[in-house]
Amino acid sequence: HRCDTYYLYEDGHLQEAGSRCLEQKDLYIIQKNHIMCRPTSINNQRSNNKSGDVASHLFGLLFDTFLFFYTVGFVSFRIGELIPLVAAYPYQCISSLLGAALVLHKSVGRQMTRRLIYVASFCTLIYLIDFHIPKALPSAGDKVTEQIGTILITGANSGVGYETARALAVTYGKDVMLGCRSATKCSAAAKTINDEVAGVGSSGKAIPMHIDLSDFESVSAFVLQLEGMEEKNKIDVLFNNAGYGPRNNIPVDSYGLNPAFTSMHLSHHLLTELLLKTNNPELRVINTSSFSHHLCAIPFAYLPSFLLEWLNLSQNAGCLDEQFFKEDLYSKTKTSTYFEAKIANMMHTVELPRRHGSVAVAVDLGWVGTAIQPWMRVSLSPTSLGWMRNARIGVLPVLHAIFTPGTELLQGLRGEEGTWSDGGVVMNVFGHSMEAFSTYHWWRDAAGLGRNRMLGLSELLWDTSSSLLRKNGY
């Protein structure tokens, strides 16, 4: 009898190792070279198990599909952490990938084992990049934390700004000024923080204050309000954090400028200059940037010109180039507006110490689960899926940027004689400082995006910003 499969009948159990036998009435078992005939009842037993096999196969297919899409989502949202991870630990990452591939290869044919290994690997990776690899924060009462007094945070009623303010007031006992556009939301956020402060017996305090970063006059009035307070506070750290995800085609504002650029860069530039002038000439400045600012370089460093033309990107190489300052700055918002604002925050950080000699750090947060986009607020969000860090974990690099001594921030970047006059630095997602526009390969001269080119554009941004503010009386 011809069969296209092999069967073994051992201990009353049917073990299959192939497709269905061609013979219908009897099941033939081929063991080595000996053919044995078994009763038809064995076939009936196999038929009864068909429904279970189909259900198991369907479950496996659905689970594998879920794992595929989960992997795509994880890599997409965690790219801002995965790239620094590979850059910092290249050999460990390569050996881990090879080891995982070998284990998965050895488990071929054992589908459930393979899936469990895959899931366990993901859980381990999330634990590593969220809790194990990031640099440990200083403890409350450490010398480095005692050197910092009052901190001012813009956009402090939610997201990264709120969680930073909460950690500073509750854990470290700091006085934190919450700068918010909505007075109601600001007061509510300050009350929540102060209630928690009282609950743990901390010495910190949250102070709500109104500031509208779309209005230069509001920024100026905010600084005057600081100067007029009964208990005049010297601001030790300014955290320029406020930002939003602008939709396309928002028209120019009352200043004739791109409204997102006004709110996320120009007003922060003005606030920084006023505080340096009137409050504290040694002010430490922290700017919230984003890994998305690298989109101003990556496509132009690696994609051929014909593909760039086909993609028709809304940004130019470097984003804030000469054309931007000539045309795009005075136009409505577009797809690239957000990361144009984020690279402006990066450029402002780089240029600030070159102009004032002060400490300036741009924080590369990666993707953090906040309310900046509507799809981040739903129940089944990227944060709940583990694709993004929640805000409490995501503020770790901000706290490092606030507390790390200036000399330590430059350590290993510019040699023993390096100074802040060479420009500000970047704090990556793991709490380690990096040099802007040079750490990653895509910021390179061959693509017209080397560090010297970007420093030149940073100077142009500074001069243009100062000119626009003077033009409007500030």
Q: For 411-418, what is the mean pLDDT?
A: 78
Joined together, the tokens standing for residue 37 give 């005939």
CB 337 within 8 A of CB 51: no
pLDDT above 80 (res 20): no
CA distances from 458 to 34, 258, 346, 348, 468 (A): 82, 18, 9, 7, 15
- The one-letter amino acid at 237: V
pLDDT above 50 (res 36): no
The confidence score (pLDDT) of residue 5 equals 44
The confidence score (pLDDT) of residue 42 equals 47
- The 3-state DSSP class for residue 135 equals coil
Cα separation, 333 vs 46, in Å, equals 65
Cα separation, 110 vs 284, in Å, equals 57
In angstroms, what is the C-alpha Rg of the chain? 29
Q: For 429-451, what is the mean pLDDT?
A: 91
pLDDT tens by residue, 185-244: 999 999 999 999 999 999 999 999 999 999 999 999 999 998 877 666 789 999 999 998
- The 3-state DSSP class for residue 181 equals coil
The confidence score (pLDDT) of residue 108 equals 58
Q: Which residues have a Cβ under 8 Å from the Cβ of 70 and sit 6 or more positions away? A: 122, 385
The confidence score (pLDDT) of residue 49 equals 56
Q: For 165-181, what is the mean pLDDT?
A: 96
Q: How many residues does the chain have?
A: 474
pLDDT band, very low/low/confident/very high, at 9 (cuts 50, 70, 90):
very low
**Does residue 322 or residue 116 have the better pLDDT?**
322
Mean residue pLDDT of the chain comes to 86
Q: Which residues pair with 178 in a beta bridge?
A: 153, 208
Q: Which residues pair with 355 in a beta bridge?
A: none
Percent of the chain with pLDDT over 70: 87
Joined together, the tokens standing for residue 345 give 């925050």
- The 3-state DSSP class for residue 34 equals strand
pLDDT tens by residue, 375-414: 677 778 888 888 888 889 999 999 999 999 999 999 888 7
The confidence score (pLDDT) of residue 415 equals 73
Q: Which residues have a Cβ under 8 Å from the Cβ of 114 and sit 6 or more positions away? A: 104, 107, 108
Cα separation, 443 vs 297, in Å, equals 6
